[in-house]
Amino acid sequence: MSVLSVVVAILVAVIMLLVSLFHFYWAFGGEYGLQSSGPVMEEGVEFKPPAAVIFVVACLLAGLAVLSLQLVWPWQPIKEYIAYVGYLISFVFIVRSIGDFKYVGFFKKVYNSDFANLDTKYFSPLILLLGVCFGVLSVFGV
Helical pair 124-140 and 51-70, crossing angle rounded to 10 deg? 40
User: Using the 8-state DSSP alphabet, how is residue 100 labeled?
Assistant: -
- Rounded to two decimals, the pTM is 0.92
Tell me the C-alpha distance between 125 and 41, whole Å: 21
Write out the chain's pLDDT in tens, 142 residues: 689 999 999 999 999 999 999 999 999 999 998 888 888 877 766 788 999 999 999 999 999 999 999 999 988 888 889 999 999 999 999 999 999 999 899 999 988 889 999 999 999 999 999 999 999 999 987 6
Contact 40, 116 (CB under 8 A): yes
